[in-house]
Amino acid sequence: MAKSKKRGGSNNRWVKKPKPQKQAAEQKKQDEGMTIQWYPGHMTKTRRMIQENLKLVDLVVEIIDARIPVSSRNPDIDSLVENKPRMIILNRADQADPAMNQKWAEYFRSKGWSVLQTDCKTGTGVKQFSPVVKTILKDQIAKWEEKGMLGRPVRVMVVGVPNVGKSTFINKVANRKSAIAQNRPGVTRGKQWVAVDDGLDLLDTPGILWPKFEDKQVGMHLAFTGAVKDDILDVETLGNFLMKLLAARYPKALEVRYRLEVPEEPDSWELVEQAGRNRGFLISGGEVDTERMCRILLEEFRSGKLGRFTLEVPPVQHQ
């Protein structure tokens, strides 16, 4: 295979070297993407809204993405939620590696959390939600009953990063379509209470991000799963990094879908090029349209065509 791009010495390089004329513009876009565009203005409003409504709720449900349980947890959440009772929902369990779902659930349980694994597309796991909430709050509920507050609904706030499935989860629990849900970040813009028949009131909130990430990887993981828009980085940087992760953790899936041979020490850029060639994504002069291949890789990861993947692993003792 004629190599159309010069590579540096590192065997495991994943960031494509931009073409010189594009370099300054792309660097600017990346820098801005990691700081400014990443935290839209309405997030400040959301944060305030969450804080203001905390006093109205009995429990906070943190919905995280089972594919990226670390990156989809807001590092601010502890200070934001203070000492309200909380639980974790590992949502999109249908898109994550089943063995890893178990490991992550065990990990969070070992830290004292109540955890549910859910697939809100089909509703799997959602039925257990109400009983779990009532178990967590049993002392509180007993107190209400002692005071004669029979039938007081349990109020639950649902928080999480954009597009993780908060509104869909609420609709599944309520068994009707009350909250608007769509496959893009930033759909829910204000708060919305949804009453559930068996004594629960759920508060839907807009997705919340945090102002900056020190770790660029966090932003990429959130982009892979659709929590932040792709334009925080150029598509080739994203695609390449996803290829690198998948080659390290799930090489079989790449071999099957893109007819690749993943070597011991893969070069993600080579793999993108190979996959693009195998798909026939060629541009003039026989070069591979790597941008198109990166776009396809991201799309097929998100749609589940590639398989079920968990990109982050729990600390060693839980693996």
Interface pick for ligand GTP out of 23, 128, 182, 319 (rule CB under 6 A): 182
Residue 11 CB, shortest distance to Mg ion, in Å, is 42
Give the span between the Cα atoms of 202 and 187, in whole angstroms: 17
Taking Cα atoms as reference points, which of 31, 9, 10 lies closest to residue 234? 31
Give the x-and-dash track for 150-179 against ligand GTP (CB under 6 A).
----------x-xxxxxxx-----------
Burial of 184 (0-12, 13-18, 19+ CB in 10 A): exposed
Regarding 168 and contact with Mg ion (CB under 5 A), the answer is: no
Helix, strand, or coil (residue 189): coil
314 binds ligand GTP (CB under 6 A): no
Instruction: Say how far apart CA 268 and CA 285 lie, in whole Å.
Output: 22
3-state class of 208 per DSSP?
Answer: coil
CA 164 – CA 207 distance, rounded (Å): 8
Q: Which does 236 bind (CB under 5 to 8 A by kind): Mg ion, ligand GTP, none?
A: none
- Residue 276 interacts, among ligand GTP, Mg ion, none and using kind-specific CB cut-offs from 5 to 8 Å, with none
Residue 67 binding ligand GTP, by CB under 6 A: no
| Total of chain residues touching ligand GTP, rule CB under 6 A | 25
Copy the structure tokens of residue 171: 């609709």
Rounded distance between C-alpha atoms, residue 99 and residue 89, angstroms: 16
The window from 50-58, 119-127, 135-143, 228-236 that contacts ligand GTP (CB under 6 A) reads 119-127
Which partner from the list Mg ion, ligand GTP, none does 162 bind, CB cut-off 5 to 8 Å by kind?
ligand GTP
Compute the least distance from the CB of residue 180 to ligand GTP, in Å. 7
Three-state SS at 46: helix
Q: Where are the alpha helices (DSSP H) in 151-264?
A: 166-174, 216-224, 235-249, 251-258
Rounded to a whole number of angstroms, the minimum distance from the CB of residue 76 to ligand GTP is 16
- For residue 259, give Cα distances in angstroms to 47, 127, 236, 262, 301: 46, 40, 20, 9, 16
Bridge partners of 116?
A: 89
Binds ligand GTP (CB under 6 A): choice among 4, 12, 102, 183: 183
| Between 194 and 296, CB nearer to ligand GTP | 194
Q: Which is nearer to ligand GTP, 34 or 170 (CB)?
A: 170
CB 39, min distance to ligand GTP, A: 14
User: What is the number of alpha carbons within 13 Å of residue 71 lying toward its C-beta?
Assistant: 24
Selected binder of ligand GTP within 188, 225, 240, 274 (CB under 6 A): 188
- Residue 29 CB, shortest distance to ligand GTP, in Å, is 23
> What's the CA gap between 192 and 204, in Å, rounded?
5
Site for ligand GTP, rule CB under 6 A = 91-92, 94-95, 118-121, 160, 162-168, 181-183, 185-188, 206-207
Residue ranges that bind Mg ion, judged by CB under 5 A: 166-167, 187-188
